[in-house]
Chains A and B, each alone.
Chain A
Amino acid sequence: MTMQRRDFLKAGAAGLAIGVPGCATMRSSAPKSRVAVVGGGYGGATAARYIRLLDPSIEVVLIEPSEAFVSCPLSNMVLGGFKTMADITMPYAGLARHGVRVVRDSATAIDMEKRQVRLARGDPVAFDRVIVSPGVDFMWEALPAMGGAEAQASVLHAWKAGPQTAALRRQLEAMPDGGVYVLAIPEAPYRCPPGPYERACQVAAYFKARKPRSKVLLLDANADVTSKGPLFKKAWNELYKDMIEYRPNSKAVDVDVRARAVKLEFGDVKGDVLNVLPPMKAGDIAAPFITVNRRWCEVDWTTYEAKAMKGVHILGDSLLPAPLMPKSATMANGHGKVCAAAIVALANNEAPNPSPTLLNTCYSMVSGKLAIHVSSVHKYDERERTMKTVPGAGGVSAAMNEAEGAYTMNWAANIWADALS
């Protein structure tokens, strides 16, 4: 690192010496450091923006294959019919205004010898440090019949907001009244713990309004609802009486795509629309940095530098979560900011903050207007070198309510701006 920076400074100085004085388009100095960010979700976009906010002399390149940011939070409301895809889609143009170079391409490998990210189409992106924030990928091997593209186009997960969200909505629209929507939930940890239970509410809200004889059937691999359990069960019972059936300890082991059935350890469950969430792991590009259960990456929580590799920082859902830390958008946004501040400190030869804090608030919309939340405050435990929740802080809603429904929309507007504006 030091070596490279010195070489880079030398190259910069040489460039300056032969530069044409007075040329307005000429950069006045070489960048202090070059950071490549792989993945423009809540973690990566936030980190890119905050590095530039904190130190505009650091060059930041964001690599993201999608043309626009599509939010997973609120995407269940598209299924409910309360939001459109346009409502949850934001451009990356705001980041360019901060001087982030946004490259629309897919990263294919992170080459630590050459210190560059290789791309599917374009030239490699060189870096001093790389931030890897790819979200999750799916463990299709856990559902053998789901391995092929045809099966995956028919039985959707819609657990990455985008085309699958719109496609699942179309499947729900096409389902006749009286049909059964089956949602299979994998064992924790998975992205967005309350997400499946919120989705059940949103689909039920749509059925209640338009297809009242239809049912929502939840097949949960877990022993109970993994987040905000009593609040969700109350919402199901009070808002969607007899429409939602919850079956705990019901792990999907495969799918019969043709017969439209989810295969459990004992018996098959048929449905008209199948929505199967496979078990999840760190995004594929982060695979070389996985250190736990062949699924998740561990980091130093003060810098987010990977335990597996110096110079690589990992954010968001790819991480082995600290105790009681959810795989949430707010968490990824927080990771992005702690990591950005640490990278800025290191680039300026300063020590990173030894006392990072994180704050989480996850809202779930249980109808078009009512919401519930879970919150927690996390601080750094120096003995165990992990983030821990502050005892006595955090909690859940007293009851579902409209005020928190409004705060949910407010949260979306502010976190989107915090990551992208």
Chain B
Amino acid sequence: MRKRVALAAFAALAQGMGAIAFAQQTAPQPPAFVASNLTETGVRSMAANCAPCHGTAGKPAPGATVPGLAGRGDLGAVMKAFKEGNREATVMHQIAKGYSDAEIAALAGYFAKQPR
């Protein structure tokens, strides 16, 4: 999607302004993400993003059908399988790709310690 927009801009630029303007235009910079915060509070904050689908601190609401994350020991391996495309998913294969291996390990460690 963004690539398409960038390409369109590239084409417009090359046509409209010529080679000089093009040479001055650099490709969009990759994001300059700040280093991940793997302190206790940093990981807790990152883990809070899982709650809308998996419940506060990984404990699903009564009646919810999605797997809980709290008290599990296999989450690191499961997330890695999603990330590498080795496990079927509707959405988790897309989400797992947003996290580094170190973040996945830290999240897995956090949820392993949460009460079921």
Residues in A lying within 8 Å of B, measured CB to CB? 50, 53, 324, 329-330, 333-334, 337-338, 341, 345, 353-359, 361, 373, 375-377, 379-384, 388, 390-395, 397-398, 401, 403-404, 406-407, 409-411, 413-418, 421
Contacts and interface: CB of A to CB of B under 8 A. Distances in A.
Number of contact residues on B: which range applies? 35 or more
B17 interface: no
Interface in B15-57: 29-37, 41-42, 44-46, 48-56
A414 B60 contact: yes
Given A355-B35, A388-B31, A414-B53, A395 B64 contact: no
Contacts of B50: 359
A414 B52 contact: yes
A224 to B, nearest CB: 12
Contact of A330 (B44, B52, B66): B52
Nearest to B52: A415
Contacts, number: 137
A283 to B, nearest CB: 22
B72 interface: no
B32 A383 contact: yes
A391 B33 CA distance: 11
Given A414-B64, A417-B61, A418-B55, A394 B31 contact: no
A375 B94 contact: yes
A353 B94 contact: no
Given A373-B91, A395-B94, A401-B90, A334 B34 contact: no
Contacts of B94: 375, 393-395
B98 A410 contact: no
Contacts of B66: 407, 410, 414
A392 B46 CA distance: 19
B79 to A, nearest CB: 12
A355 B42 contact: yes
B82 to A, nearest CB: 11
The CB with the most chain A CB atoms within 10 A, among B41, B65, B90, is that of: B90
By Cβ-Cβ distance, the 5 closest A-B pairs, closest first, are A377-B98, A393-B98, A417-B61, A383-B32, A359-B49
30 contacts: A53-B56, A337-B48, A357-B45, A357-B49, A359-B49, A361-B53, A361-B95, A377-B95, A379-B31, A379-B33, A382-B32, A383-B29, A392-B97, A393-B95, A393-B96, A393-B98, A394-B94, A394-B97, A395-B94, A407-B53, A409-B65, A411-B53, A413-B62, A414-B51, A414-B52, A414-B61, A414-B64, A415-B52, A418-B51, A421-B56
